[in-house]
């Protein structure tokens, strides 16, 4: 039995953190006889530099033929002036859409050792364990028409379209209901149904499906309130489900509850359980090349990959336990550093997780 993983390091800190996650995967592969093999590919600015586009059709096809994909991050100032269609971020959107990865799971879990690293009071975040289910292949990110046009008076106007069809809402809602069933049975759907028709429909579909999941308690919340509640009393949430853009924003806010954006992993799944795994953060150009980025979100994404796509739950548990162990040892990258701990580099953190395994 061998399982092939497509590795897409990307840009900025991407290659630095993916290197650590691969080292961890190689160790668990040996220890648990997983037979993992890797194929490297280019995405984002790295692909633009090599091929003139942020994701080639060949790489997309090769990724889809692997058993799972592990991605670092894309983007950087050197590509920000390119035409929108060929910017690094388009590569990410292309792989998500091209592989049908509509269900983005972003778990925000506070490791108890990091209670002091959170910007919120320890008692507000202690025991935090929430799951944000973000719709990833629709909404305003993909809606047509979109663009920048010139009006009759010569002024330019930018426009995007926020659309969701019932079937798109239904499938992400089902992912969220099912996730809530496996957790604490609470689902909060986040929308802007007081203003936007698209989310009036969103709310209707959630309500229509709710009776099929009698063991899940469904509630609704407006996104502005949800942002506030996330920093006021985040432990009221179990699973949150929302559209593409709201989910993007709320998950970065939730990340800080766990101590750092460098702690938040993600899984992006299609209807067959095929998945792409990546940290929620970006390429962090401000610290790229310094060897100080936190690799744990990527290492935890690799654990999610083993659990969700490769049916290797035991190895996933082992990685998560090893992460907990290194935090227990007091090792901290700069983003989660607090007084009395030992500040380590990206590579030292990765090596410590490997050693703990």
Residue ranges of the binding site for Mg(2+): 224, 248, 252
| Cβ burial, residue 100 (10 Å; 0-12/13-18/19+) | middle
168 binds ligand NAD (CB under 6 A): no
The 10 Å Cβ neighbour count of residue 320 is 18
To the query of whether residue 192 is one of the catalytic residues in this protein, the response is: yes
223 binds ligand NAD (CB under 6 A): no
Nearer to ligand NAD by Cβ, of 63 and 173: the residue is 63
Contact call for residues 69 and 61 (beta carbons, < 8 A): no
What's the distance, CA 47 to chain centroid?
21
Nearer to ligand IPM by Cβ, of 92 and 223: the residue is 92
Nearer to ligand NAD by Cβ, of 10 and 243: the residue is 10
For ligand IPM, which stretch binds (CB under 6 A), given 89-97, 198-206, 224-232, 342-350? Answer: 89-97
The three-state DSSP-derived secondary structure of 182-234 is: HCCCEEEEEECCCCCHHHHHHHHHHHHHHHHCCCCEEEEEEHHHHHHHHHHCH
- Residues of each annotated binding site for NAD(+): 76-89, 282-294
To the query of whether residue 11 is one of the catalytic residues in this protein, the response is: no
**Residue 1 Cβ, how far from ligand IPM at the closest point, in Å?**
31
Contacting residue, 68, 73, 257, 299, with ligand NAD by CB under 6 A: 73
What is the rounded CA–CA span in Å between residue 282 and residue 12? 8
Contacts of 54 (CB under 8 A, 6+ apart): 43, 44, 45, 47, 48, 74, 86, 87, 88, 89, 90, 91, 92, 94
**Residue 59 Cβ, how far from ligand IPM at the closest point, in Å?**
17
Nearer to ligand IPM by Cβ, of 29 and 260: the residue is 260
The 10 Å Cβ neighbour count of residue 80 is 12
- Residues of each annotated binding site for substrate: 96, 106, 134, 224
**Using CB under 6 A as the criterion, which residues of the chain lie in contact with ligand NAD when the complex forms?**
13, 17, 73-76, 89, 92, 261-262, 278, 281-287, 293-294, 297, 335
Active-site residue set: 141, 192, 224, 248, 252
Residue numbers of the site for ligand IPM (CB under 6 A)? 75, 89, 92-93, 248, 280, 282
């Amino acid at each position: 039995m061998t399982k092939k993983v497509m590795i897409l390091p990307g840009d900025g800190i991407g290659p630095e953190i993916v290197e650590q996650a691969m080292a961890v995967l190689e160790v668990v592969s040996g220890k648990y006889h997983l037979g993992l093999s890797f194929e490297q590919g280019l995405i984002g600015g790295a692909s633009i530099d090599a091929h003139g586009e942020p994701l080639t059709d060949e790489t997309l096809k090769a990724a889809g033929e692997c058993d799972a994909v592990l991605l670092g991050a894309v983007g950087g100032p050197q590509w920000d002036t390119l035409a929108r269609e060929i910017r690094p971020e388009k590569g990410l959107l292309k792989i998500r859409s091209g592989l049908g990865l509509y269900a983005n799971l972003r778990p925000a879990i506070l490791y108890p050792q990091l209670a002091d690293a959170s910007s919120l009071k320890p008692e507000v975040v202690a025991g935090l364990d929430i799951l944000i289910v973000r719709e990833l292949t629709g909404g305003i990110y993909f809606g047509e028409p979109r663009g920048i046009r010139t009006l009759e008076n010569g002024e330019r106007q930018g426009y995007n379209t926020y659309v969701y069809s019932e079937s798109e809402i239904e499938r992400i809602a089902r992912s969220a209901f099912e996730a809530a069933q496996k957790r604490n049975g609470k689902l909060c759907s986040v929308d802007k149904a007081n203003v936007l028709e698209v989310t009036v429909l969103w709310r209707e579909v959630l309500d229509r499906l709710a009776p099929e999941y009698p063991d899940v308690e469904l509630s609704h919340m407006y996104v502005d309130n949800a942002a506030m509640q996330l920093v006021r009393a985040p432990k009221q949430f179990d699973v949150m489900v929302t559209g593409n853009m709201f989910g993007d924003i709320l998950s970065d806010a939730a990340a800080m509850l766990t101590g750092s954006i460098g702690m938040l992993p993600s899984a992006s799944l299609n209807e067959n359980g095929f998945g792409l795994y990546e940290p929620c953060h970006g390429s962090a150009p401000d610290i790229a090349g310094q060897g100080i980025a936190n690799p744990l979100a990527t290492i935890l994404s690799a654990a999610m990959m083993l659990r969700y796509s490769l049916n290797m739950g035991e190895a996933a548990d082992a990685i998560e336990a090893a992460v907990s162990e290194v935090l227990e040892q007091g090792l901290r990258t700069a983003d989660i550093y607090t007084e009395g701990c030992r500040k380590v580099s990206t590579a030292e953190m990765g090596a410590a997780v490997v050693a703990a395994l």
